[in-house]
Amino acid sequence: RGFLADVISQVSAKGARVIGVDIIIDQPTEATKDARLKQVLATTPTPLFLSYTSSPNIVTPEQLAFLNDFVPANQRAEANLLSDPFDTLIRRINPGGELKNGRMVDTASHPAGFVRKAVTLFGGTAPLTPVEIAWRPRPDAESLPFPSFPAQFVSILPDEFFRGKIVLIGATLSITDRHMTPMSIIDDGDQGNMPGVFVQAHGISQLLENRAPPRMPLGGVIAFSALFAALGVAVSLFKRGIIFNVGVGVAILASYWVGAIVGFGYGLPMLPIIGPSIAFALSIWMMDVFIGRAERKQREFVQGTFSRYVSPAIVDRLVKDPTSVTISGERQEATFIFTDIAGFTTTSEQMKAEDLSNVLNDYLDGACEIILRYEGTIDKFIGDAIMAIFNAPIRQPDHAERAVRCALELDAYAEKFRKDCNSRDIPIGVTRIGVHTGYAVIGNFGSHARMDFTALGDTVNTAARTEGVNKYFGTRICCTSDTVDLCPNLHFRQIGDIVLKGKTTASALYNPIAETDDPKLIQEYDEAYKLLTKECGSAKAAFDDIAEAFPNDPIVQFHIGRMSKNIISARVVMDDK
């Protein structure tokens, strides 16, 4: 309150013609500062008014009593904004006042609206009925429609910035005094979700500048509607089904709406929106009736079945040729990726539900975008874990290589995400990834009420366990030899010959080499690993030499740990899953 009193005094001293304060003072703070502000309101020579409301939805009886005592009746201005009952957007100026005996009058409990109060004090005239807001255009992409300065800089700003002008004081960083405007479709900042004081400024400038909302004549509206009707017919003639038509239609209409609103924000005439949109939608609907329902149903079935699992590009190929895939259970070769965040269960117990949801959704969004970019099929989520399939439902000759490249990019993304979270004191662990190739039964499984496209078989279990063994090696990615054998264009480091629990034969596990890995480390490791496979005693010294140069390499440390127990062998028998 003391700061606000200083700002009002400074603005008045700099020659402002009218001062409007878009702040509702409805409860006490420090007594001395409240008294000082009240004195400034009473003694400031510049015409001054403050936001006021008697709405029981905003102020309690106690708050209203304080507000009535603090703000004199002649300095009150109705603060409430008029929202559209259809979409709650702010489109009209609230004139304020109260209807009595068939005419609008200003009373102590229902004073003139904020805009009308400012214009009247400035010497202008304002209507007593709601007027549509003609939003003041921005001079350029970087500037606001009105000069705006932090209040703490008032004392050092030139007097000519204020002299003879209406100066509004209000909060622009508030998260409560913000209101959706027609620009919200293309802007989620101050233009679309506008501070209340900015809305009032638009209304005041409109009345002072005699600015009217630009409208297109009826002939133009009809022409635009006819054009969009023809465009709807053209979209339907592609014969790609109602989902395609609606998707393209939404994109076209959204682009048109955005262009119209952006242009409006820069002072261009407001293009018609409702008429062309209705004409476009009706033309698509009517064309869909004539195009044939059987073809549409077939395409919708394919899209509905796979759009949740695979990239849009694969869905597009399936729609063009539904015979290219068998969705009933079929035994086929595929490569599987399993991912899991280490210690996520513990982390989730330490976080608030909302924070946990936000972090997990952000993580899964990024991971899924990578999988879909490599045209993998997202089978399911299990908490923070992801299961993805390559080579189904569309055949991919390079499915193993796709999966490994996808795993490398997932690893880079997950590490960046983890470090970012850790820097914000969110204890996210590393993401472990397992990649395995083999035969499984893949298709739609479930009941008539609900079906899922998934894979069944021991290959799936092996892929999941391959992900799990990372924690024993300290690695983040493990690939089986079945996958490595199908990736001649990629390079790997062999971790060892691993006998998983429940298995009798050893399976070679590998760690894919990323572009960021040091070539010297790879070369020296290969040489040391050859000694290990021969169970040579010199293997320990070779690994010790590598550890001196690369002390943080997890695979090297794993083998050194085993050799410290006199286990000099590349064969590793797992005691746990």
User: DSSP letter at 16?
Assistant: -
Residue 309: which of 394, 203, 205, 388 has the closest Cα? 388
> By three-state DSSP, how is residue 106 classified?
coil
Q: Are 169 and 22 in contact (CB under 8 A)?
A: yes
Average pLDDT over residues 25-33: 93
Same domain, 252 and 205: no
Distance CA 199, CA 190 (A): 10
Same domain, 440 and 544: no
Same domain, 195 and 232: no
Domain boundary among 178, 209, 240: 209
306 assigned to some structural domain: no
296 assigned to some structural domain: no
Task: Give the CA count within 13 Å in the CB-facing half-sphere of 311.
Answer: 17
Beta bridge partners, 50, equal: 21, 76
Same domain, 488 and 558: no
Q: Are 384 and 341 in contact (CB under 8 A)?
A: yes
Distance CA 294, CA 335 (A): 35
pLDDT tens string 122-171: 999 999 999 988 888 887 777 888 889 999 999 999 999 999 999 999 98
313 assigned to some structural domain: no
Average pLDDT over residues 529-541: 94
Both ends of the chain: CA-CA distance in Å?
Answer: 65
Q: How confident is the model at residue 110 (pLDDT cuts 50, 70, 90)?
A: very high
Total number of domains in the chain: 4
Higher-pLDDT residue of 318 and 393 is 393
Distance CA 496, CA 544 (A): 17
| Predicted TM-score (pTM) of this structure | 0.49
Sequence-distant (6+) residues with CB within 8 A of 467 are 338, 339, 340, 432, 433, 434, 478
Same domain, 337 and 453: yes
307 assigned to some structural domain: no
Q: How confident is the model at residue 555 (pLDDT cuts 50, 70, 90)?
A: very high
476 assigned to some structural domain: yes
Segments in 74-217 forming alpha helices (H): 114-121, 196-209
Tokens of 181: 């405007």
Same domain, 343 and 439: yes
Residue 419's pLDDT is: 96
Domain boundary among 269, 291, 313: 291
387 assigned to some structural domain: yes
Same domain, 403 and 357: yes
pLDDT tens string 413-441: 999 999 999 999 999 999 999 999 999 99
Segments in 184-241 forming alpha helices (H): 196-209, 218-236
Distance CA 136, CA 125 (A): 19
Which stretches of 253-374 are assigned E, i.e. beta strand?
330-341
pLDDT tens string 382-405: 999 999 999 988 899 999 999 999
Q: Residue 28: is the preceding peptide bond cis (ω within 30°)?
A: no
Same domain, 366 and 509: yes
Same domain, 367 and 377: yes
Residue 70: which of 42, 111, 30, 107 has the closest Cα? 42
How high is the mean pLDDT of the chain?
A: 88
312 assigned to some structural domain: no
pLDDT tens string 352-366: 899 899 999 999 999
pLDDT > 70 fraction of the chain, expressed in percent and rounded: 90
Same domain, 117 and 134: yes
Domain boundary among 473, 502, 517: 517
Beta bridge partners, 420, equal: none
Same domain, 545 and 555: yes
What's the domain range around 40? 2-209
Q: Is the pLDDT of residue 313 over 70?
A: no
499 assigned to some structural domain: yes
CATH number at residue 394: 3.30.70.1230
Q: Is the pLDDT of residue 315 over 80?
A: no
Higher-pLDDT residue of 211 and 335 is 335
Q: Are 495 and 509 in contact (CB under 8 A)?
A: yes
Give the lowest-confidence range in 67-71, 445-449, 503-507: 445-449
Token look-up 């304002």 returns 126
Distance CA 375, CA 390 (A): 7
Tokens of 42: 């009473």
B/e letters for 440-476, b = 16+ CB within 10 Å, e = fewer, are bebbeeeeeeeeebbbeeebbbbbbbbbbbbbebebb
Same domain, 70 and 116: yes
Q: Is the pLDDT of residue 378 over 60?
A: yes
> By three-state DSSP, how is residue 382 classified?
strand
Higher-pLDDT residue of 294 and 185 is 185
